Every structure is written in structure tokens, then in C-alpha cells.
């Protein structure tokens, strides 16, 4: 028998809600460059309303959540950053 393959585990991700102080045409590079940030998702990418276009969801590796929140909260381009409330399907 040969060596057993170690299963590859995906990092657990945490969602963060982020609102920027101004609208960007694409995902702001300040969000994508933070260590631990896996994905930056605009909540309303095709919206014309400027306030709604400032909203993003970040997918962050569990181990990096606190550091990412600290960095976001100290960034003047970020109006707020908070962990998304956990959700589960009812029914």
C-alpha cells in the first residue's frame, strides 16, 4: 500500500459587508489587495443609485477576518465594514 492522499480542504470563508465612501467603476484595488480576501462582490453591480453601488460583500478566509476588519475600519475610503449575520435556510 502506498501513502494515503491527504484530502484538500477549502479554507472556510466569512462574508463581510462593506460600504465605501465613494463609487468605483470596478472592485476597488484597496479591497482586493488585503491578505485573506478571496473575492470582492459588488452587491448591486448594475444599479444606477450611487449609494447602492457603494455596497460590497467580501469573502475572507476565517483566519484573516480580524486583520481585514481592522484594515478596512482604518481606511478613510470605507464608510463601514462588518461581519455578515449568519443565515440558514428555514423550511
pLDDT at 6: 65
Measuring CA to CA, which residue among 54, 35, 34 is closest to residue 44?
54
pLDDT at 28: 78
pLDDT at 18: 96
**29 CA to centre of own chain:** 13
**pLDDT per residue of the chain (91 residues) written in tens, 0 to 9:** 566 766 666 668 999 999 999 877 666 777 888 999 999 999 998 999 999 999 999 999 999 999 999 999 999 989 999 999 877 778 7
DSSP state of 33: T
pLDDT at 61: 95
Q: Distance between CA 54 and CA 73 in Å, rounded?
A: 15
Q: Distance between CA 45 and CA 21 in Å, rounded?
A: 16
Q: Distance between CA 67 and CA 60 in Å, rounded?
A: 10
pTM over the 0.85 mark: no
Amino acid at each position: 500500500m502506498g501513502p494515503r492522499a491527504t484530502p484538500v480542504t477549502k479554507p472556510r470563508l466569512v462574508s463581510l459587508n462593506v460600504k465605501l465612501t465613494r463609487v468605483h467603476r470596478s472592485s476597488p484595488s484597496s479591497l482586493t489587495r488585503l491578505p485573506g480576501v478571496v473575492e470582492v462582490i459588488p452587491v448591486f453591480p448594475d444599479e444606477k443609485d450611487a449609494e447602492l453601488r457603494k455596497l460590497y460583500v467580501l469573502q475572507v478566509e476565517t483566519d484573516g477576518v480580524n486583520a481585514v476588519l481592522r484594515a478596512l475600519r482604518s481606511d478613510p475610503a470605507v464608510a463601514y465594514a462588518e461581519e455578515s449575520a449568519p443565515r440558514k435556510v428555514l423550511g
